[in-house]
Every structure is written in C-alpha cells, then in structure tokens.
Structure 1
Amino acid sequence: MSNVIGPNSEVLFHFTIKLEDGSVADSTQLQGKPAKLQMGDGSLTDNFEACLLGLETGAKKVFELTPNDAFGEVNPNNIHYMERSRFSADLELEEGAILSFTQPNGAEIPGIIRGVAGDSVTVDFNHPLAGHNVTFEVEILAVDKNGA
C-alpha cells in the first residue's frame, strides 16, 4: 500500500469546486462523504489527473482548471427547445430549475431550464459547470497504488 498517487491508483479524497467569483459549486466536505477515484479510468481529463499525480496521503492542493480541463465548453447542440405540452401541466417551469429527463435508452439525464417563452421551453443539457474556469481544492485521504 503506497501513499503516493500514480497512474493507476485508487484515490479517496475530499474536494471543493469554486467558480470564478469564489462561490462553492460543490463540496464533498459539505456532504460529509469523500469521493473515490480510479486514476486512468477516463473519468477525468488528462490535465486534471496530472494535477493529482505525485500527491501523497494527507496532501492538500489547490489548482485552477479551464473549461477544457474540467467540465468542457458549452455545446450549443446540447441546448434544446421543447414544446410546453411535453411537460406535466401542473409542473411549474422556472428558469434555473433542474429536471430529470429519460433518454430513449432509459437512462436519466439532468436538464436545466434556461427559459420559458409562451409554448417554448429552452432546456440545457450541458454540465451545469460547462464553460466555467473552476478552482479545485483537494485533500487526499487515502491512496491505493494498485487500484481496485
């Protein structure tokens, strides 16, 4: 059991994500449950993983990521205009509300209501943090060099 993060390590860590204005977008510490990550599994960008490589158990680090290294740029193809009739009549559609949509394969995907104009509802299926520079604060709790 090594305590240094390598290319295939399994990592248990706390993180806080902050936006450009310093506001907290997400934090495992607020939820009281650390995150687990398998390095090299493709769930993170290469640059994000590079920021973690070499950190040891107990280490704390702050790093900034551009949209391409974090949650991606806003993709206009992920913004859809839907008829109001596709939503339940008693559902109050407010700008900023996040709703769950069922894809044809049965998987659920979140969509953010960006606007309601008459019978047209604008739904954004981009990640809520897409297009943002973000600051990650991480605290490494445990490292398994051999992975899962």
Structure 2
Amino acid sequence: MSDKIKPDSLVTLHYRMAVPETERAVVRVSTFDSRPATLQLGRGELAPALEICLVGLAVGDHEVFELEAGEVFGEHTENLVERFARADLPDDVELAVNSIVEFMVEDGNKFPGLVKEVDDKSALIDFNHPLAGRAVSFEVQIIGIL
C-alpha cells in the first residue's frame, strides 16, 4: 500500500459533489450513505480537476475542495444545446423535461442529452455536462490507496 495518493493510484473513498444554490449546497452525488467508490486515477474515471485534488492525500484524510465555476466540467457551451423536431427523434424515446435521452452516432458512440424543453413539435436537448459552468464543492474521505 502507498501512503499518499499518486496520479496513477487505485483509490477507495467516499465522496460528495454539490453545487451552491443561493445559501445552501445541493448534493448531486454522494457515496457517504452507501458503499465507497474505488477509482483508478489517470484513466478518466474522474474529472482531471477532481483527480488533482486527491493527489497527495493519505488514508484517513477528509477534505473539502471548492472548485470555481467551469473548472471541473468546463463552461456551458450554447452550441451544445440543440432543438430537434419530434419527427427526427425515435418514437420509443420518452421526452420529459429534465430526463436524459441517449443519442447514438454513426461510429457507435453514445451521447447523453438533458431534455430542457418539450412541446408538440420539438424538444430542446442540452449535451453539456449537467454541472458545466457550475462551481463544485468536492468532499472526500480517503479509505484506501493501492
């Protein structure tokens, strides 16, 4: 076992990501009330800005990192928001505001999009990460390092 996290460490940890909403943070993801996560750093399992926060921490460390808007998931980009005619969307896709719709491109890759608006004729889909352009609070408790 290593005593400090390195950029290629296998890490078991609890983590919580929240975004500020006026006076209080809204939790978006948390493992503190469930099983801890095990992540291989350097393989894209965690956003690079979050991995940087972990490097140098040791087992037992419990830290909270406040990251600036756009630092973790990039800026919100308007050209990643697109309106689709209902006729151009598959019939088996249920469109509801705030639901995720997955699109497959010709090479087989899939891209999730968040439904922002829907009416009888079209749907507005946002392909930005849901936390793009947002400040993020990242709380971690390190359980194990390999």
Whether these two folds match at TM > 0.5 is yes
Q: Provide the C-alpha distance between the structure 2 equivalents of 1:142 and 1:126, rounded to a whole number of angstroms.
A: 32
| TM-score when normalising by structure 2 | 0.84
Q: 1:50 to 1:90 in 2, by over 3 A?
A: closer
Consecutive unaligned residues in structure 1, runs of 5 or more: none
Once the two structures are superposed, what CA deviation does each residue of 1:104-128 show, in whole Å capped at 9, x if it has no partner? 2223221111112441211001111
Q: Say which structure is richer in helix.
A: 1
Q: In structure 2, which of residues 68, 74, 77 is the aligned counterpart of residue 75 of structure 1? A: 77
Once the two structures are superposed, what CA deviation does each residue of 1:6-46 show, in whole Å capped at 9, x if it has no partner? 2321211111111112111111234x23222333335532x
Once the two structures are superposed, what CA deviation does each residue of 1:33-65 show, in whole Å capped at 9, x if it has no partner? 3222333335532x4333212111111110111
- Bigger relative contact order, structure 1 or 2 (CA pairs below 8 A, ≥6 apart): 1
- 1:125 matched residue in structure 2: 127
Q: Provide the C-alpha distance between the structure 2 equivalents of 1:106 and 1:97, rounded to a whole number of angstroms.
A: 22
Q: 1:37 to 1:84 in 2, by over 3 A?
A: same
Superposed CA RMSD in Å reads 2.1
Q: Tell me, yes or no, if the aligned pair for 2:60 and 2:142 is still in contact at 8 Å.
A: yes
- 1:106 matched residue in structure 2: 108
- 1:115 matched residue in structure 2: 117
Q: Provide the C-alpha distance between the structure 1 equivalents of 2:94 and 2:59, rounded to a whole number of angstroms.
A: 47
Q: 1:8 to 1:93 in 2, by over 3 A?
A: closer
Q: In structure 1, which of residues 58, 61, 64 is the aligned counterpart of residue 60 of structure 2? A: 58
2:32 is aligned with 1:29:
yes
Instruction: Report sequence identity in percent.
Output: 38
- 1:2 matched residue in structure 2: 2
CA drift at 1:88? 4.5
Q: Tell me, yes or no, if the aligned pair for 2:70 and 2:76 is still in contact at 8 Å.
A: no
Q: Tell me, yes or no, if the aligned pair for 1:20 and 1:133 is still in contact at 8 Å.
A: yes
Consecutive unaligned residues in structure 2, runs of 5 or more: none
Q: Tell me, yes or no, if the aligned pair for 1:13 and 1:34 is still in contact at 8 Å.
A: yes
Q: Provide the C-alpha distance between the structure 1 equivalents of 2:39 and 2:94, rounded to a whole number of angstroms.
A: 37
Q: Provide the C-alpha distance between the structure 2 equivalents of 1:16 and 1:28, rounded to a whole number of angstroms.
A: 6
Once the two structures are superposed, what CA deviation does each residue of 1:64-114 show, in whole Å capped at 9, x if it has no partner? 112332111111221111111123557552221212222222232211111
Q: 1:123 to 1:59 in 2, by over 3 A?
A: same
